[in-house]
Structure 1
Amino acid sequence: MRGPLAGCCVIVTREHPGELASLLEARGATVIHVPLIQVVEPLDSGEALTRELDRLGEFDWLVVTSPAGAERVGAAAADEPSVRLAVVGNATADVLAGAAGRPVDLVPATQRSQTLLEELCAVAAPAQRFLVAQADRAGDTLAAGLRRAGHEVTSVVAYRTVLCTPGPAAIAGADAVLFASGSAAKAWFDALGDTVPPIVVSIGPTTSTVAEELGLKVTSTAADHSLGGLVSELERILSIRAGDGSESAASRRPQGSVGVQQSGEINPTK
C-alpha cells in the first residue's frame, strides 16, 4: 500500500488496536500489534463503580482520565445530563462524548492531570462534588488537588490493568513505537527494558515524562493529544528525516537494515 507511512513498521501496544491501527494502515504503515496491557475488571468486579454511578446525579462533575475509564462510565453519563464531564486528553474525550451522547465540558489544553486540575479549579464553583473514575494504578494528583481546593471528591476504581510480557522477538524489525498512555510506557519498560525502535512517539507530555523517567528516549510528543495526532506526529517526524517527505519509510533507514535499539541510538542489524 502506498502512503506517507509506506514501508514503516509501527508497533501498537494497545490491547485493542482498532482505530489507531486503522489510521496507520490508511497511511500505508505495517502495524505490529504488541499488547502490553490487558484491561480487566476491578478486584470487586466493579461493585464500587456501579454503586457510585447509580448515584451519579448527586455529583456536579464526573472526571475520567482514560478511554478505558470513559467506556465504563459513558452510559451513566448519558442518563445524567446535568453532571458536567471533564477528561484528560482528546482520545478520552472522544470516547466519553460518544458513549454519553453529548460533548465533554472540559478538556485541558495539554494532556496532563495537573493541567486538568488547574483548569477545573478555575471554572468549578466552590465546594463542588466530584466523582473521579480511574485505573487502579492511577496517581492521586487530581483527587488530592481538588480536595485541597475545597471540593468534595469521591475516587473509584473503574478498571485494573494487567501487564503482558512479550519477548524481544515481538518487536524485532520495527521502525517506530507509539505510546498512547503512561501506563503503556511503564509496561514496555517492565517487559523490554530500554530497548526501543529508532522512533518513539508519545500522545502527550504526561506520557513522555513517564517514558523518559524510565530511560526511554522519546523522539517526539504529539501536539494534538489524540490518536489522529499521534499518527500525524509520526508522519511529521518521518517526513523531516526524509528531507522532503517523498521517500518511503524503508528508504529512510540508514545504510543496512535498522534493528531495535537501546536508549534511542540506532544500531544496524548484524
Structure 2
Amino acid sequence: MTAALAGCTVVVTREHRGELGRLLDVAGAAVEHIPLIEIAEVDDARRRQLDSAIAAEPDWVIVTSAAGADRVGAVAHHPAVRLAAVGTATASRLAAVAERPVDVTPDRQIAAGLVEAFVERVDGPQHVVIARGDLAGDDVAAGLTAAGHTVDVHIAYRTLVRVPSEAERARAAAADAVVFASGSSARAWTDALGGDAARRLPPIVVAIGPTTRAVAEESGLKITHEAAEHSLAGIIDELSHAWRKRAGQ
C-alpha cells in the first residue's frame, strides 16, 4: 500500500522535527525542516520564581509545550504535585523529565481541549502553576480561572525568531505543504519572512485547530485546511486528505 503522503514535501518550522516530523516520516512525506524559532532561557529572576512556585508544591503544574516541560521536570518530581500537558508529545517529554506519568492530557491537543479535560476530571478549586513561553496565549489560564481555580502563570522560556537563509526560503516556497501546530509557529512564519510570508506559502497550509488558524489569519496567512481532530495525528489525517485530493486520488 502506498504511504498516504508519498511524494508530498512538507515544511516543519518547529525548533526540532520532534514527534510531528516522525509522524510525517511514517506517512511517507519528505520533510523540509526549516526552523523559524529558537528557544532561549529567561533571566535568573524568572527562573528562580518558577522553581520556587513548583517547589512550594501547588496542586498542579501545567505545561503547553515540550520546551516548557524541559524547564519544570527537574523540580516536579514530588508525587503530590499532579501534572497536565496540552498534547501527547508534550506529555511524553514531561513524563520523561519528571520521571512519572502525566495525569491529564486532552484528546483535543489545543488549549481549549486541556481546559475541558481538566474541568471534567478535576474536582474542587485547585492551585495551578502554568509554565509557558513568552509568546503563548492566555487561553489555558483564562479558562481555568473562569472555572474557579487559582492560577499562577510563569514564563519558562523565550521564543526568538530565526530568519531563514535564501536557500531555505526557496525550499519552503517549493514545498507542497506547511503545517502549523501552534499559533506561535504561524506567527513565526510571518515574522521570519516579512513581506514575503504569504507569497512563500505552499499550496496546502494545515492548522491544528481554530486558535492556530485565527493567529495565522491575523498574521496575514491563508489557512487552506484545519485538522478535524486537534492533534498531531489530526494534522497528518487532514494533510493526507488534502494531498490525495490535490493528487486527484
Tell me, in whole angstroms, the C-alpha distance in 2 between the residues paired with 1:142 and 1:182.
14
The separation in 2 between residues aligned to 1:36 and 1:89, in whole angstroms, is 21
Q: Could you say which residue in structure 2 is the equivalent of 1:143?
A: 141
2:187 aligns with: 186
Matched, 1:3 2:8: no
State how 1:149-188 maps to structure 2 within 5 Å.
149-166=147-164, 167=166, 168-188=169-189
Partner of 2:222: 217
Quote the offset at 1:215 in angstroms: 2.9
Q: Percent identity?
A: 52
Gap runs ≥5 in structure 2: none
Instruction: For residue 172 of structure 1, give the secondary structure of its aligned residue in structure 2.
Output: helix
How well do the aligned residues superpose, as a CA RMSD in angstroms?
2.5
Per-residue CA deviation, residues 16-40 of structure 1 (Å, 9 max, x unaligned), is 1143333323433222121111011
Seen in structure 2, the aligned counterparts of structure 1 residues 146 and 6 have a Cα distance that, compared at 3 Å, is closer
Q: Which amino acid aligns with 1:68?
A: A
Q: In structure 1, how many angstroms separate the alpha carbons of the residues matched to 2:64 and 2:121?
A: 18
1:65 aligns with 2:64: yes
Instruction: Report the residue type matching 1:179 in the other structure.
Output: F
Q: CA 1:19/1:112 → structure 2, altered by over 3 Å: closer, same or farther? A: closer
Moved over 6 A (4+): none
Structure 2 Cα separation of the partners of residues 108 and 27 of structure 1: 23
The TM-score normalised by the length of structure 1 is: 0.77
| Alpha carbons of structure 1 residues 144 and 205: separation in structure 2 relative to 1, 3 Å | closer
Larger C-alpha radius of gyration, 1 or 2?
1
Give the letter aligned to residue 192 of structure 2. A
> Whole-Å Cα distance in 1 between the matches of residues 5 and 148 of structure 2?
49
> Residue 48 of structure 1 corresponds to which residue in structure 2?
49
Give CA-to-partner distance per residue, 1:194-250, whole Å, 9 cap, x none.
231000112233222221232322222233444343233322221233343xxxxxx
Distance 1:173 1:242 in 2: 16
Q: Distance in 2 between matches of 1:180 and 1:150?
A: 29
Tell me the SS of whatever aligns to 1:111. coil
Paired residues, number: 240
Unaligned ranges ≥5, structure 1: 245-270
How far off its partner does 1:15 sit? 0.9
Query: AA paired with 2:94?
Result: L
CA contact (8 A) 1:59 1:130 kept: yes
What's the offset of the Cα at 1:52? 2.3
